Amino acid sequence: MERKSFSKTLCMCHANCDSMLLRFLKFEDLRRTAILEGFLALGGRAGPDISSLVLAGHGSDLKMLGAMFAIQQSEKKSPPRDFLAAYAIFLAGSFAVYHLVANGEFSSILTMAQMIQCLAFVLLTIKSLSQGSVAGLSAKSLGLEALAFGCRLSSTTWLNGYLPVDASGDFVYQAVEICSLCLVLFLLHRAFVSHRWSYEEEADSLPVLPMVIASLFLAALLHADMNSRPVFDTLWMAGLFLSVVSVLPQLWHIHQTGGVIQACTGHYIAMLACSRALSGIFMWHARFDITCVRLVGGFNQAIWAILGAHLLHLILLGDFGYYYVKAVMQQGLDFKIELPCADMV
């Protein structure tokens, strides 16, 4: 009798366990189905492998939901008033620096170029804060920019060789570059720490180490001698080269994510191009004043390397410039660019 009672109890326990297990599996299936439906509701844009991960039960559901949320947020458009406020503050600041600090000196356009570059990173920060994510940003591009700022500031914070000769070169130029560096570091912190779940690492896959090595090598070979200190002359030139190639990871990221450029990203790239154009104008004007230790006869390799770097930057952004102007004229500041595949490569 006791054996029968024990067997009956054991069978009941097995039945209860089986029932609980079935309910748990049913709950898991419903949960995964809900996540998958959310993914499909976004049009399957969260990446090619997420649906299979959900069905197979692998990976973190939290990460999947985070990725879907980042994509959904990245499609939200920032209010045009944010753009207008940023542009208005920049114009007011530029007017004040040009008239009140530089007294209208031509060399102040080099400071204006740095202010436009700072505006570019302000717009990128607006994009990140308004979306609550870093979707659409290339952390590798920002890393190259941070390295470029570090190289240039190692020279411009205490040496005068590459500064505007007007009063804006005494403190405004350096302050603007430091502000830009702080914005870049803030965005990098969001990409790698606070908002890493929204960082599109697979799309940001362009190797940058060869760019860094090539920039340092060419800078060591072609640098000017405006500081009369070879190490810091080399660092300044390396900063220029790194800043030029830093746009490549961002363009590659755009290509990898379908060639769609949201307004903030478009304004960011356009402001970088405007900054480089102004800087190039100054360098062309000062081409006879930039000296170097000449390697071949009377050929000044430094100034042509500087001008060539500026020209290369504008060439890299040539196709983008056409679509940017077209989009602004047709859609206004709050535009969306969809690049043809042939122009993304």
DSSP 124-180: HHHHHHHHTS-TT--HHHHHHHHHHHHHHHHHHTT--TTS-SSGGGTTHHHHHHHHH
Same domain? For 55 and 145 the reply is no
Same domain? For 178 and 98 the reply is yes
Same domain? For 103 and 47 the reply is no
Cβ contacts of 235 within 8 Å, gap of 6 or more: 151, 152, 154, 155, 219
pLDDT in tens, 69-86: 544 444 444 456 777 888
Same domain? For 26 and 123 the reply is no
Same domain? For 152 and 261 the reply is yes
Identity at 86, one-letter amino acid code: A
Same domain? For 117 and 16 the reply is no
Q: Is 71 inside a domain boundary? A: no
Same domain? For 40 and 98 the reply is no
Q: How far apart are CA 188 and CA 182, in angstroms?
A: 10
pLDDT score recorded for residue 142:
97
Q: Which of 66, 89, 111 is the last residue in one of the domains?
A: 66
What are the pLDDT tens digits along the chain (345 aa)?
Answer: 444 454 554 455 554 555 554 454 444 554 554 444 444 444 444 443 444 444 444 444 444 455 545 444 444 444 567 778 889 999 999 999 999 999 999 999 999 999 999 999 999 999 899 889 999 999 999 999 999 999 999 999 999 999 999 999 999 999 999 999 999 999 999 999 999 999 999 999 999 999 999 999 999 999 999 999 999 999 999 999 999 999 999 999 999 998 999 888 999 999 999 999 999 999 999 999 999 999 988 899 999 999 999 999 999 998 899 999 999 999 888 888 988 754 544
Same domain? For 117 and 174 the reply is yes
Identity at 152, one-letter amino acid code: R
Same domain? For 148 and 179 the reply is yes
Q: How far apart are CA 113 and CA 276, in angstroms?
A: 7
pLDDT score recorded for residue 298:
87
Task: Please tell me what DSSP assigns to residue 59.
Answer: S
pLDDT score recorded for residue 104:
93
Same domain? For 172 and 267 the reply is yes
Same domain? For 21 and 150 the reply is no
Q: Answer positive or negative: Cα dihedral of 280, 315, 95, 86.
A: negative
What is the H or E stretch that residue 326 is in?
Answer: helix 318-331
- The domain of 55 spans 2-66
Phi and psi at residue 79, to the nearest 5°: -60, 135
pLDDT score recorded for residue 84:
84
**Entry pTM:** 0.79
- Nearest Cα to Cα of residue 53 among 43, 63, 45: 63
Q: How far apart are CA 113 and CA 279, in angstroms?
A: 6
Asked if 180 and 118 count as a contact pair (C-beta separation under 8 A), the reply is: yes
Identity at 261, one-letter amino acid code: I
pLDDT score recorded for residue 137:
94
Residues for the chain: how many in total? 345
Q: Is 224 inside a domain boundary? A: yes
CA-to-CA separations, 102 to 16, 20, 172, 299, in angstroms, rounded: 83, 77, 10, 33
Q: Is 11 inside a domain boundary? A: yes
Total domain count, the chain: 2
pLDDT score recorded for residue 11:
52
DSSP string across 212-266? HHHHHHHHHHH---SSS-HHHHHHHHHHHHHHHHTHHHHHHHHHHTTSEEEHHHH
